[in-house]
Amino acid sequence: MNKIRMKFTKGEQVKYISHLDLMRTFYRAFRRAGLSVAYSQGFNPHPVVSFALPLAVGATSEAEYMDVELEKDLESNVIINKLNHVLPEGIKVIEIRKQSEDEMRSFNDIAFADYVVKAELNVVLPHIEKHIENILKENEIMVEKQGKKGVKLVNIRDDIHELSIIERYDKTIVLKMKLSAGNESNLKPDLVLRAFDKYIEGFVVDHIQVHRTAQYFKDGSDIMGV
Amino acid sequence: MSQKISDKILSNVQKPTRYIGNEWNSVHKNPETVDIRFAFCFPDLYEVGMSHLGIKILYHMLNDRDDVYCERVFAPWTDMEEQMRINQIPLFALESGDPVSVFDFVGFTLQYEMSYSNVVNMLDLAGIPLLSSDRGEDSPFICAGGPCAYNPEPLADIIDFFIMGEGEEVLNEVMDAYLEWKKAGGNRLDFLKKITAIQGVYVPCFYNVEYNEDGTISSFTSVYENAPQKIKKRIIKDLDNAYFPDKIIVPFMEVIHDRIMLEVFRGCTRGCRFCQAGIIYRPVRERTPEKLLEIARSLQESSGYEEISLSSLSTSDYTKLKELTDGLLEMNKDHKTNLSLPSLRVDSFSLELMEKVQKVRKSGLTFAPEAGTQRMRNVINKGITEEDLIRSVTLAFQGGWSNVKLYFMIGLPTETAEDIEGIADLAYKVVDAYYRVPKENRSKGLNVTVSTSSFVPKPFTPFQWQPQDRIEQLNDKQNLLKSKIKSKSITYNWHDSKLSFLEGVFARGDRKLSKVLIAAHRKGCKFDGWNEHFNYNAWLEAFEECGVDPYFYTSRKREYDEILPWDHVDVGVTKKFLIRESEKALRGEVTPNCRQQCSACGAAVFEGGVCIE
């Protein structure tokens, strides 16, 4: 069993490609690298690959993860070199960890993600830090969320674990946030911004740029850890 | 990082991947280090253009030269166009993001007539004057090639020069001529004059067309003494030694043909009388299986594609098909690559091949009898009989297929109601053939799909003199066929006859149509091949405004001695042969294919392929 876990980045050049496009890009990169991916047995064999949390189209990331099973056992740095040689600009494998079956911790256990969000506002808001502080003091932050069964009102307060402004210039603010992520509860950064839209007078977002910086398991441990 | 379009715009359009480039194997150069910048334009969406083999070949061929930087340009979808116009972003090239107006060449590939309005719209988006005569010394040279360029006249006022035939050699010659011209320091006209010396290059402004009172052409003369009276197409004599890239771009998004396309041969030996491709690509030239396997291997390694398909006008006619498919299947085993087959003539060989390739999945099989009666099939020289078809479908049904598609054309010359009814009869005979196969030997769920397209007479075919059915006639025929098909097992699909009508106008059009194109563009016509954008009434208004009668091009029977708008283009196949074929068609006589017997069509002048075997 040559299962490996890989950490990779998704940069500016490829931020508009969808999750499906990204998966296809990896399948083909493995083929170009001459790394044979193990195929599932059965009626319709498919490569044994699984991706952690999909990233929204338009967002960049320095902490994406995937598991893949290779036919051959190779050194981690050999795999990294081979892959990075044939991956399009903007996608780069930065870490590989080989794992045996019992060490594997499922991507299903991912619970949090960190983001840096750059938001361009329509106006300069001088007291924005104070406003955000006040919002976070609330027990409820209600936002309209597009679900499968239509729009519904949800409370996102419990899914915001950390939030602060780390930079501010002109009409631009840069926020750092830790949000719930994964199967149990998942909050997208743009929804947080939409809440500000509603709670802070004059807060109108012109454009946001999301960058994911980390993902964690429930107990706060690293995805690449044991 | 080459992306110059703001995130605000890209995050507000559908499928932004269409506009970002940076795909694996795309070529990036420093524009400062090259002599020539070439914008290769496909006048349709990214996913359509990226499925086209020609652009893949020529893109890498040009970029293999150190002195040329070739970039790709596709038509932006309407949501992107709106954003571009609001934000004053001119048409840009995918690799550098630079506006195409700064390029030395802007080259369009003309794959179908219904993309002409996109050519005009793209020039407009680029801020390049629409008329050739309005372009100044700073403008790029606008050129065009591809199958529709064989009748260049509807675009004669818009395109600076056309390239007739296969581009692998002639494009390089034009690039070399440009370098010489640049060095010598001439003006725009000097360059256009210079390239008339290259075989296959047509510069429309060097020719003057006079018309008779009835609108037909009275004379076509060159006004520049060195411009040739006849422009002879270019072909690659030996495909094995022709340029073929060892890598192809791998798009991020799924495109229509998202796989390696192996071009098995060019041309076709069959000589179906409605088929333009069968004439203009003559003579048939094959690649050897060894060469094809070599190409397949290198493309697989450089692209990582998991699927290979075979491409040609009639892959069943490839003389080494078994050798090739055996080799590919053997190679694919190691690479876990799939072979996807084109629609092959159904016989025991091809069914066995399909079993091997597709394993369990039995998707639909396609048959193209093209016409409903033997008489009609003889007229169009489609060498297939009812017995052939029934034998083939029976084999398919016995092999477990239960889903067949039958392609037909309506509006063919000499067609009567009997021929239309014959389509329904044939479909019923296919249904009968299914039920004749014992229940235990066939799959459940018979589905016969009958599709009719409307015949559009094309230049350089034996039917180029024939009138095209009017919209009402085609609709009547479609309705007649609908009324004859009552079986639940048969589904009938048909084409929009209005679109076929417009296609017919531009297929056999002359220079007067350039102004109609521009008028239609001003009325917002674009993406005419896309149902949701085809605006028939806007086109009618454009014809009206320009005082051009579209029926002049479609509904009129032309005489053999009429000067046709494309007569100055020499495709090798002679008018004498086309007239002979036209006469034989009317008598219902068939002509054997090139391999059975040479019919002296004239293509032998190129001394290639089947003509010299």
> Which candidate, A216, A192, A214, A218, places its Cα nearest to that of A205?
A192
* Residue B516: burial class (beta carbons within 10 Å; 0-12, 13-18, 19+): buried
pLDDT(B2) > 60: no
**How do beta strands B231-232 and B569-570 pair?**
parallel
Report how far residue B437's alpha carbon sits from residue B445's, in angstroms, rounded to the nearest whole number.
13
Pick B434 or B346 by higher pLDDT: B434
pLDDT of residue A201: 85
> Which candidate, A186, A119, A108, places its Cα nearest to that of A147?
A186
Span B99-140, pLDDT tens digits = 999 999 999 999 999 999 999 999 999 999 999 999 999 999
For chain A, domains (ranges, CATH) are 2-104 (3.30.70.580), 109-217 (3.30.70.3190)
pLDDT(B245) > 90: yes
**Nearest-CB residue to B11 (from A24, A58, A88):** A58
B-chain CB neighbours of A122 within 8 Å are: none
Chain B: give the shortest CA distance to residue A16, in Å: 6
Percent of chain B residues topping a pLDDT of 90: 91
> Which candidate, B369, B381, B345, B480, places its Cα nearest to that of B429?
B369
Tell the residue number behind the tokens 């930065």, with chain if given.
A94
> Which candidate, A178, A183, A135, places its Cα nearest to that of A159?
A178
Chain A: give the shortest CA distance to residue B335, in Å: 8
At residue B33, the 3 state secondary structure works out as helix
Contact B602, B572 (CB under 8 A): yes
Chain B: give the shortest CA distance to residue A57, in Å: 8
The arithmetic mean of pLDDT across residues B303-330, rounded, is 93
Mean pLDDT over the full length of chain B: 94
CB contact (8 A) between residue B20 and residue A13: yes
For chain B, domains (ranges, CATH) are 7-232 (3.40.50.280), 237-358 (3.30.750.210)
CA torsion through residues A47, A49, A54, A56, sign:
negative
A-chain CB neighbours of B360 within 8 Å are: 43
Chain A: give the shortest CA distance to residue B561, in Å: 56
Percent of chain B residues topping a pLDDT of 70: 99
ipTM of the shown complex: 0.92
pLDDT(B358) > 80: no
Q: Which residue of chain A is at minimal alpha-carbon distance from B303?
A: A32
- Which run of H or E residues covers position B211? strand B207-211
CB contact (8 A) between residue A17 and residue B253: yes
In order of A185, B47, B118, B604, the CA distances from B74 in angstroms are 41, 9, 10, 37
> Which candidate, B199, B17, B274, places its Cα nearest to that of B569?
B199
Report how far residue B91's alpha carbon sits from residue B71's, in angstroms, rounded to the nearest whole number.
12
Q: Helices (DSSP H) in B130-230: which residue ranges?
A: 167-184, 188-195
In order of A84, A90, B23, B95, the CA distances from B29 in angstroms are 21, 18, 14, 9
Query: Which stretches of chain A sit within 8 Å of chain B by CB?
Result: 12-14, 16-18, 20-21, 24-25, 27-32, 34, 36, 39, 43, 57-58, 86-90, 206-207, 209
Stretches in chain A below the pLDDT threshold 70: 1, 101-102, 226
Residues paired with A162 in a beta bridge: A178
Residue B461 pLDDT grade (very low, low, confident, very high; cuts 50, 70, 90): very high
Span B490-540, pLDDT tens digits = 999 999 999 999 999 999 999 999 999 999 999 999 999 999 999 999 999
CB contact (8 A) between residue B11 and residue A207: yes
Pick B7 or B125 by higher pLDDT: B125
The arithmetic mean of pLDDT across residues B274-280, rounded, is 96
Report how far residue B396's alpha carbon sits from residue B13's, in angstroms, rounded to the nearest whole number.
45
Q: Which residue of chain B is at minimal alpha-carbon distance from A17?
A: B17
CB contact (8 A) between residue A88 and residue B335: no
Span B41-51, pLDDT tens digits = 999 999 999 99
Span B534-592, pLDDT tens digits = 999 999 999 999 999 999 999 999 999 999 999 999 999 999 999 999 999 999 999 99
Report how far residue B558's alpha carbon sits from residue B549's, in angstroms, rounded to the nearest whole number.
16
DSSP 8-state secondary structure symbol assigned to residue A39? B
Report how far residue B559's alpha carbon sits from residue B274's, in angstroms, rounded to the nearest whole number.
18
Q: Which residues contact A78 (CB under 8 A, 6 or more apart)?
A: none
A-chain CB neighbours of B358 within 8 Å are: none
Contacts across the A-B interface (CB distance below 8 Å): 71
The alpha carbon of residue A185 and the mean position of all alpha carbons in its chain are separated, in whole angstroms, by 14
Q: Which residues contact B561 (CB under 8 A, 6 or more apart)?
A: none
Predicted model pTM = 0.94
pLDDT(B171) > 70: yes
**How do beta strands A205-217 and B569-570 pair?**
unpaired
B-chain CB neighbours of A13 within 8 Å are: 1, 3, 20, 22
pLDDT(B338) > 90: no
DSSP 8-state secondary structure symbol assigned to residue A26? H
The arithmetic mean of pLDDT across residues B449-473, rounded, is 97
pLDDT of residue B362: 65
B12 close contact with A: CB closer than 8 A: no
Write the single-letter amino acid at B445: G
> Which candidate, B237, B318, B226, places its Cα nearest to that of B605?
B237
pLDDT of residue B352: 83
Report how far residue B569's alpha carbon sits from residue B206's, in angstroms, rounded to the nearest whole number.
14
The residue length of chain B stands at 613
Report how far residue B306's alpha carbon sits from residue B303's, in angstroms, rounded to the nearest whole number.
9
Chain B: give the shortest CA distance to residue A29, in Å: 6
pLDDT of residue A127: 86
**Nearest-CB residue to A12 (from B1, B17, B335):** B1
Q: Which residue of chain A is at minimal alpha-carbon distance from B253?
A: A21
Contact B309, B343 (CB under 8 A): no
Q: Helices (DSSP H) in B455-508: which residue ranges?
A: 471-484, 497-507
CB contact (8 A) between residue A25 and residue B252: yes
pLDDT of residue A102: 65
